[in-house]
């Protein structure tokens, strides 16, 4: 494979896989992947996808084998702390938070125990798959708690007698409940993140990466954004922009046969709730249309 091509590491099979490939497709990337192949060949851009385990993604960028990667902030931060403490230093940066892979890295305590806070754990042990993040957090709090590394099934550690508490990823909280664990302090709010190599790349690679990151940004923005059209009293424009967060200056157009009512068009970059539309109606707006957007380039 030619060195002029950019390699992007994404998860081979897991919670981030479909979202990651869909995101890149929405950025215009067309790729082909032979059955059981771990490489996706970009047909219309000099970009190839490497399908790997999520834990390997920061390493691949650190070692400059891939220039970009999509991975949970939890995995990336765990590696970053290790690299920050190494001779080489961390050779990747966090480029963009995405709108999938949301979860929280959270302490949890056995229901049957008397522990309810990390401050109850002085001299005790916490099991986690994220020892660097947890140790840093505990150090910042000045707490003397042991951390033991588990690579999976962390929620079993207390019942196995391996730890008094755990620190693990939570999304719905069902897993904790099933294992009779009570959720405690949140260490990290995580989402999928774009990582990029901080090593010097050729001008053409830099240009493609810049373009791709801009497109990713556009896709993220557009996923929440809506185009809103309405008729409204001329003197309510100020109130309309106050009700619609994240809007730019509205486009105001005259309406035939009236001097007091105008047509207002705005792009709203945040979720538009029914309550917002009801609020608009209350200040005199009518014929309100909310239309999804497909592409946005700011
Ligand atoms: O095989 P590979 O190593 O690539 O995959 P993996 O099994 O390590 O990762 P995967 O696919 O499970 O998760 C990939 C990423 O998704 C994680 O690194 C997080 O950034 C993000 N993510 C979002 C989650 C969750 N939500 C999540 N709920 N990762 C794991 N979980 C697990 C959690 O560890 C616990 O076991 O789900 C359980 C809790 O879920 P709830 O809904 O019961 O609270
Ligand atoms: Zn993993």
282 & 156 share domain? no
pTM: 0.90
68 & 200 share domain? yes
81 & 22 share domain? yes
**Residue closest by Cα to atom 21 of ligand 1:** 101
Q: Which of 214, 258, 206, 213 is nearest to 232 (CA)?
A: 258
**What does the alpha-carbon distance between residue 164 and residue 237 come to, in Å, rounded to a whole number?**
58
Cβ–ligand 1 distance for 166 under 6 Å, the answer no
**Residue closest by Cα to atom 19 of ligand 1:** 72
**What does the alpha-carbon distance between residue 206 and residue 196 come to, in Å, rounded to a whole number?**
11
Tell me the residue range of the domain where 68 lies: 2-99+192-222
Instruction: Provide the pLDDT for residue 137.
Output: 98
pLDDT bin (cut points 50, 70, 90) of residue 249 is confident
Stronger pLDDT, 246 or 228, i.e. the higher one: 228
124 & 231 share domain? no
User: Under a CB-based contact definition with an 8 Å cutoff, are residues 70 and 174 in contact?
Assistant: no
Q: Is the pLDDT of residue 3 over 80?
A: no
Atom of ligand 1 at shortest range from CA of 17: 11
pLDDT bin (cut points 50, 70, 90) of residue 227 is very high
User: Under a CB-based contact definition with an 8 Å cutoff, are residues 34 and 48 in contact?
Assistant: no
Each residue's pLDDT tens digit, 31-55: 998 888 899 999 999 999 999 999 9
**CATH code, domain carrying 143:** 3.40.190.10
**Residue closest by Cα to atom 22 of ligand 1:** 101
297 found inside a domain: no
- Of 12, 50, 72, best ligand 1 pocket probe by most atoms within 8 Å of the beta carbon: 72
What lies within 8 Å, CB to CB, of 148 at 6+ separation is 125, 126, 127, 128, 131, 157, 162, 163
**Cα-based torsion angle of the residue sequence 261, 294, 269, 279 in order, rounded to the nearest 10 degrees:** 40
**CATH code, domain carrying 287:** 3.30.70.120
* Averaged pLDDT of the chain: 94
**Residue closest by Cα to atom 17 of ligand 1:** 72
- Of 10, 13, 15, best ligand 1 pocket probe by most atoms within 8 Å of the beta carbon: 15
Count up the domains in the chain and report the number: 3
**What does the alpha-carbon distance between residue 16 and residue 289 come to, in Å, rounded to a whole number?**
33
Each residue's pLDDT tens digit, 173-194: 999 999 999 999 999 999 999 9
184 & 250 share domain? no
User: Under a CB-based contact definition with an 8 Å cutoff, are residues 81 and 131 in contact?
Assistant: no
Burial of 122 (C-beta count, 10 Å sphere; 0-12/13-18/19+): exposed
68 & 138 share domain? no
CA 54 to ligand 2 centroid distance, Å: 5
Cβ–ligand 1 distance for 75 under 6 Å, the answer yes
């Amino acid at each position: 494979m030619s060195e002029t091509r950019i390699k992007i590491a994404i998860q081979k099979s897991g919670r981030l896989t479909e979202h990651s490939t869909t995101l890149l497709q929405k950025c215009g990337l067309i790729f082909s992947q032979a059955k059981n192949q771990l490489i996706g060949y970009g047909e219309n851009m000099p970009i190839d996808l490497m399908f790997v385990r999520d834990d390997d993604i920061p390493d691949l960028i650190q070692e400059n084998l891939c220039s970009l990667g999509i991975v949970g902030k939890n995995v990336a931060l765990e590696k970053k702390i290790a690299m920050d403490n190494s001779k080489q230093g961390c050779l990747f940066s966090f480029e963009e938070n995405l709108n999938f892979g949301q979860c929280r890295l959270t302490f949890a305590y056995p229901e049957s125990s008397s522990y309810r806070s990390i401050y109850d754990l002085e001299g005790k042990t916490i099991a986690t798959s994220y020892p660097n993040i947890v140790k840093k957090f505990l150090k910042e709090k000045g707490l003397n708690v042991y951390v033991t590394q588990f690579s999976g099934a962390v929620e079993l550690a207390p019942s196995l007698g391996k730890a008094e508490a755990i620190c693990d990823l939570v999304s719905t909280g069902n897993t904790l409940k099933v294992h009779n664990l009570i959720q405690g302090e949140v260490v990290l709010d995580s989402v999928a993140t774009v990582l990029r190599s901080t090593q010097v790349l050729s001008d053409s690679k830099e240009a493609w990466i810049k373009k791709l990151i801009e497109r990713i940004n556009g896709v993220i923005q557009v996923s929440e954004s809506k185009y809103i059209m309405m008729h409204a009293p001329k003197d309510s424009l100020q109130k309309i922009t106050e009700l619609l967060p994240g809007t730019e200056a509205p486009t105001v157009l005259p309406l035939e046969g009236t001097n007091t009512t105008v047509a207002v068009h705005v792009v709203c970059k945040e979720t538009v709730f029914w309550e917002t539309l009801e609020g608009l109606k209350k200040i005199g707006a009518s014929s309100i249309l909310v239309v999804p957007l497909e592409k946005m380039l700011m």
